[in-house]
Each structure stands twice: as C-alpha cells, then as structure tokens.
Amino acid sequence: MNYLRTAIFLAGLTALFMGVGYLIGGASGAMIALLVAAATNLFAYWNSDRMVLGMYGAHEVDRSSAPELVGLVAELAGRASLPMPRVFLIDEAQPNAFATGRNPENAAVAVTVGLMHQLSREELAGVLAHELAHIRNHDTLLMTITATVAGAISMLAQFGMFFGGHRGNNNGPGLVGSILMMILAPLAAMLVQMAISRTREYAADDLGARIVGQPMWLASALVKIENAAHQVMNPEAERNPATAHMFIINPLSGHGVDSLFATHPSTENRVAALRQLAAEFGAGAAPSLGANENYPPASPWGRPSSRGPWG
C-alpha cells in the first residue's frame, strides 16, 4: 500500500470524523473534530501499533524465550531483504496472526499460541512470510492507523448520541441526529473493513509464497486457520471488530465468503490462487521478489513435517 493511498484514506476518515463533529456541534463542532482528528492521526502514526498489540495482550519474545519462532522469522526476513521485526506472542487459542508497524524499520509480527500449536513448521513459515509481505508492501501502516482512527470515530459518534450538541438554533441532535449517530458508529468499523482492499491479501499471499518458496504451505495454513476461526472464538477481536482486517484470516465468526463488505477474500479463492502459483513454480516460473531477487521454489526447511513446529 503506497503512502499516497494511505494519505487519501486518512483524509476520508478525517472527513467522516468532521461529519460526526458537525452533527454534534455544527460548524464549530466540525472544526474541533478536525483538530481532534489531526491529533488522532498523528498519535496513531506513532503509537497505533503499540495500542493494537496491547489490545490483544501481546508480549514480545526473543531467541531465549521462543527460539524456534524467532529463528524462523529471522530466516524469512533475511530472504525478504527486510530488517528483523519484533516478534510477539498472543495468549489466544484461535490460530491467527497479524503484522503491524509504521514502516519496515519499526515493524512487528504477532502470532497466537493457537497458531503455534495447530500448524506445522512449514505452514507457520507460510503464515509468517505472508505477514512479512504485508510489511514489505507497507500495508501495515494503513492497517494499524485505520483501526485506531475508526475506534475514535465510533467513540465520538456514541458521545454525540448521549450528549449531543446543536445544529443551527436547535439544541441537541434531535431524533434524526440520534439515529444518524447510531448508524455512524458501526459504519466507522465497516469503512475500515472496506478500506483495506482485499487485493492486498492476494498480493501478500503471492509475495509471501515467493518469500518462503512453497505456495502450498501457506494454502494449507489458510485452510486450517479458516476452519478453526469458525470453531474457536477470539473474544478480543469480537469486542474490537475494527481490527479484524489486520489478521491473516478474519477472526470474527461467520465470515467465510466474498461479499461486498468482507474484510478478506474467501479462503477458497486464496487457495486457488496459491495453487495456480504453485503450478507456475512447477512449470519453471521463478518465484521472484524483484528484478534481481529470484528465490528458488525448493524448500529451505527440508522435508515437510506433519508435527507442530515445537515438537
């Protein structure tokens, strides 16, 4: 995701923020909302990654506390020509993962305990490569900021419902204003889900497969995570749906197909694209990361294992 697109989307969120402020307090409310939005955007740029990691109770690990996981991330980051990101573990049973950070130099990869327990080492490598692809594509800046700003919009809309303001000479938002406030709060989260183009997941799948050299490792992982996401609830994600777009698979229950407002492409479509890429690799297509960075499709980890990555 390039920086121009990031700026355009943040401008849209700011406009929505100002619209809510106008409903609460007219022109002066819109101006105050603009100032608050500017401060929120600046704060989110520097702190949104820490806020999201803190929201999910993620704790940082290193080579002494999680040598296999950190070593795997380091190997893949080297293959992707990326700085070593910080690595975090989330005490959550649902297998899932996300990347965050304003740029590759300040990036982090977070995985759940469930992911480590349910995936093989090869499948885990595919997932980590996908998250590193988001970092390399600069998707993580938009992912983290939008989650923070959307949460602020929802809070402002709810504030307006209860405390209101005025429009013109009428005190309070009135019935119509209250209804609009009720609509705007969930709309903010929906806009975040729509804003992260689903093509970015396809792009991260493609680049991740090229980083790890084995598209079917990621495909297998996606199927496992998708199945588990419908069986194992992620309570924190359910309480914060605006962050759903950050995960490799939608952590919310009941989201398994492509639809107008889906945050992710269907897993079936993603697996089909990865199968096609695997066929191209088999036909001799070089899994290239760039003009001068060709990685062979041979496994860098040895024979695939049916065991989990930690035993």
- In angstroms, what is the C-alpha Rg of the chain? 21
Maximum alpha-carbon separation in the chain? 74
Element holding 100 (H helix, E strand): strand 97-101
What token pair was written down for 116?
Answer: 């480590």
Q: What's the CA gap between 12 and 239, in Å, rounded?
A: 24
Cβ proximity of 274 and 219 under 8 Å: yes
Q: What's the CA gap between 27 and 273, in Å, rounded?
A: 49
What token pair was written down for 306?
Answer: 């049916």
| Per-residue DSSP letter, 104 | G
Element holding 111 (H helix, E strand): strand 107-112
Cβ proximity of 204 and 255 under 8 Å: no
| Per-residue DSSP letter, 84 | P
> Which residues, other chains included, contact 126 with Cβ-Cβ below 8 Å and sequence gap of 6+?
208, 209, 212, 214, 217, 218, 219, 220, 221
What token pair was written down for 66?
Answer: 């999680």
Which residues are marked as active site?
A: 131
Residue type, 109: V
User: Cα dihedral angle (13, 189, 19, 101), rounded to 10 degrees?
Assistant: -30
What token pair was written down for 36?
Answer: 């608050």
